[in-house]
Amino acid sequence: MASLLPNHSIISSSSFSTTSRRSPSSPQGLNLHFPPALSSSFASSLSVQGKVYQRSNLFQGLGFFRDDQEKRRSLPRVVSAVRHFTGSLTNTQGLRFAVVVARFNEVVTKLLLEGALETFRRYSVRDEDVEVYWVPGSFEIPLVATQLGKSGAYSSVLCIGAVIRGDTTHYDAVANSAASGVLSANLHSGVPCIFGVLTCDDMDQAINRAGGKSGNKGSEAALTAIEMASLFEHHLKK
């Protein structure tokens, strides 16, 4: 390994001899012995191509030792007291759920509802702790979800609908309004309102997501409702 001195001469690590004896002048535990001609060159600093290298940095670059203090300062600090909170899918006792379902595209929304109700039962939510509210379409879901959330009677509100793209821009208006409306219901009611509204290009996509090859999104939304209800009930409730 070689390095350029200010006079452009080449030296290698073999030019130095080292011992492991600790001395006050060498806190890293090394005594470095230089040839007499080089001692003054390393006395304080070394300038190479306009950059000034302090003696310890030069030695570190040559591989003689590491600055342990600098190394420790560069390591990330580990916080040992971090607490994590999450909702439980198994502790569902005392949780109550409302499901708001759009009647429009009922052939799809009924399948989504069936998937949601089956999931509630599978995770020990009693039938009497689930109530279903039907509305004409997905556009009407947010208003009802907000009122149900504000009532304080439910741990979570699950919103189910299906918006399928047609030949006009009506799809975009309804889909965007449903999504932003359910978000607003969350914020204004203080109760988790879960978005389970399908927004699909055609009926085949919707059927596939209502129990077909893509699973049942109503069931997935019910799982989210349980987890969020549990998180609020056990960790965030004032």
153 touches 145 (CB < 8 A): no
* Residue 70 burial (CB count, 10 A): 11
How many degrees, rounded to 5, is the angle at CA 150 between CA 176 and CA 133?
65
Our answer to whether residue 8 is catalytic in this structure is no
**Tokens 């039938």 found at:** 127
Spot the catalytic one: 84, 170, 188, 235: 170
Task: Please classify residue 196 by burial: count the beta carbons closer than 10 Å to its beta carbon, then call 0-12 exposed, 13-18 middle and 19+ buried.
Answer: buried
Which residues, at least 6 apart from 206, have a Cβ–Cβ distance to it below 8 Å? 105, 108, 162, 164, 198, 200
Q: What is the DSSP string of 119-179?
A: HHHHTT--GGGEEEEEESSGGGHHHHHHHHHHHT--SEEEEEEEEE--SSTHHHHHHHHHH
Helix, strand, coil in percent for the chain, rounding step 5: 45, 25, 30
User: Measured between alpha carbons, how far is 14 from 62 in angstroms, rounded to an integer?
Assistant: 11
37: which 2 tokens? 């001609």
Give catalytic residues, as residue numbers: 170
